[in-house]
Amino acid sequence: MRRILRQALSAKTMDFLRDRAAQVAAAADQRARAAQLWEDLKNNQAIRREIREVLKAMAHGRERCMYCEDNEGIAIEHFWPKSEYPHRAFDWLNYLIVCTLCNSIKGIQFPLAGPDQPLLLNPTEEDPLDHLTLGPGGLLEPLPGSAKGRPTIDVIDLNRGTLVKGRAGAWTALEMLIGRYPEFLLAGDSRRLERIEAAVRDYPFAGVLTALLHIAASPDADLLIEAKCLRAIREYPEIRAWA
């Protein structure tokens, strides 16, 4: 998982969301009203399309799921589940784009440490690197002292076998791609340099690249990162801008 910067919606769409939020707040049964208005949103294709397209633009690489970073993000996810927190049903800051599998696994699970204190990571509000660590084996682990790392891994099942295997493969592929960057740079092969950068930027499991670059600055880097890749990262700082 990797930090995501939230983009802005149009004024028209923001006004639409504020109006629907006001209707929910005024309703005697807020859950029922939120569910009804969310269902009605399917009939407003322009608004729904804008929300989805902005979320996809926020996602890394080829519109990957903001949780697992493997599958295509196609479901508008309410970080705070709308069935339990109807007042957040039309809150733009509560929307993520995720794959249907992660959306189904998370469901309405939403552990709290206290009022307004989620135990799940929202990648648009905080940096997952402050809570999670990743090595070349592809396994996510909570950082010591983080209250959110373990619940996020467990609730969304971020260490399911396909993801661990995929992250491990991504680590190896990125090492090989980045390791060849100096070779093509010294040869003046601009076409291949552009292809390497594009491939690295768009590679699934975007959090792997972020973790790899983060570890490259640590004392244990020599033990975890292939030598050619590590040299490239250290000698060519522009590579860090690819994350």
Reduce the DSSP state of residue 136 to 3 states and report it: coil
If asked whether residues 170 and 85 sit together in one domain, one would say: no
pLDDT at 62: 82
Domain boundary among 139, 156, 173: 156
Do 166 and 149 lie in one domain? The reply is: no
pLDDT value for 60: 87
> Quick one: 150 and 173 in the same domain?
no
pTM above 0.75, yes or no: yes
* Same domain (yes/no): 73, 188: no
pLDDT tens readout for residues 161-220: 999 999 999 999 999 999 999 999 999 999 999 999 999 999 989 999 999 999 999 998
- Total number of domains in the chain: 2
Domain span at residue 186?
Answer: 161-242
Q: 86-117 in b/e burial notation, b at 16+ Cβ within 10 A? A: bebbbbbebbbbbbebbbebbeeebeeeeeee
Classify residue 132 by burial, with Cβ atoms within 10 Å: 0-12, 13-18, 19+.
buried
| Rounded Cα distance, 233 and 175, in Å | 10
In a domain, 63, yes or no: yes
6 belongs to a structural domain: no
Q: Which residues of the chain have pLDDT under 70?
A: none
Gap between the Cα atoms of 141 and 1, Å rounded: 12
Regarding whether 183 and 165 lie in a shared domain, the answer is yes
> Is 97 part of any domain?
yes
**Are 131 and 60 in the same domain?**
yes
Question: What is the structure's pLDDT at 211?
Answer: 94
Q: Would you state the pLDDT for residue 43?
A: 87
